[in-house]
Amino acid sequence: MKVFITSMLTIDLDSERWECASCGHDIGNARDNYKKGLLVRERDPSEVHAPILDKEKYDFTFSPDPDWCAILEYCCPNCGHLAEVEYLPPGHPPAHDIELDIDALKAQWAKREPLDKPVLGPDFVAPPHSH
């Protein structure tokens, strides 16, 4: 049974493996940090948030300062889909951001029906016009 943990990552409860939600590629042990099974690269923040003001003229341009901020992109090694983007001070250790109790997860889903896609939640229903 697969559990949709993020929009780009699933956990296969039977094999206890992280998998890419886009291509099904095996990412790694579900009891470990999923990032270990992804590829990562650093982006200069101006490559993503390009200056809106002329950087030759101004100190502040709407683009993050590279001395303060680096952007790490994590992608699936098979299909190249982005699974996570992390903003960090340069050199700061990346977070082990999702660490689930896999035994508890298996017990929880043993009582649930498998899903073939993630549940988005209730639809927005506009309130009736009242004036």
Partner 1 sequence: MGDDMDIGGAPSAAVQDFLKETSLYLAPDPEIMNNHGLEPRTAFEDQCIGKEGDPVRLEIVRERILAGVNESYEMLENMGAAPGAKWGDCVSAVYTASGDLSLASSGGVVIFCNLVQYPIKFVNKYWSGDPTVGIKEGDVFIVNDARYGQAHNTDQSMMMPVFHEGRIVAWAGATVHEGENGAIEPGGMPSLAEQIWDEGLKMSPFKVAENYRLRRDLVTFLQNSVREPKLQYADMKVKMYVCRRIETRIHEAIAEYGVEAVVAALRMNLEDTDAEVRRRLLEWPDGTTRHAWWTDGTLRENVQIKINLALTKKGDEITFDYRGSSPEFTNRSNNSLDITVKGMLAQLFLTFIWPDIPRNQGVLAPVKFIFDNPSVLKPAFGTPNAQSMMTVFTAWSAGQVCAMKFLYSNPKKYTRVLAPWFNMINTFLFGGLTQHGEMVGNVCADINGMGGGALADRDGEHGCAPIFATMSDIGEQEFIEEEMPFIQIVSKKMMKDNQGFGRQRGGMGYQMVLAMRDSPAFGFMLTAMGAKFPNIPGLFGGYGCPTYPLSRVSGVDVFEILKTDPGSFRYSIEELMNERPFKDAKYTTHPMTLGYTLAQRGELYMISQGTGGGFGDPLDRKPEDVIRDLDEDLISHDVAWRVYRVVYDNETLHVDEEATEEAREAMRKERIAKSKPFDAFCEGWVKDKPSGKVPYYGCWDDKTMVHAGSPDTLHPAAQVNPPVIMANPLQVKIDRLEAELAACRKGQG
Find the binding residues for partner 1 in span 74-113 (CB under 8 A): 74-75, 77, 79-87, 89-101, 104-105, 108, 112-113
Query: CA–CA distance from 81 to each of 47, 61, 85, 123 (Å)?
Result: 18, 29, 11, 27
Q: CB within 8 A of 22, min separation 6: which ones?
A: 8, 76, 79, 81
Does 1 interact with partner 1 (rule: CB under 8 A)? no
Residues 111-130, interacting with partner 1 (CB under 8 A):
112-113, 115, 118-122
Binding partner 1 (rule: CB under 8 A), the pick from 42, 44, 116, 125 is 42
Q: Nearest distance from residue 9's CB to partner 1, in Å?
A: 8
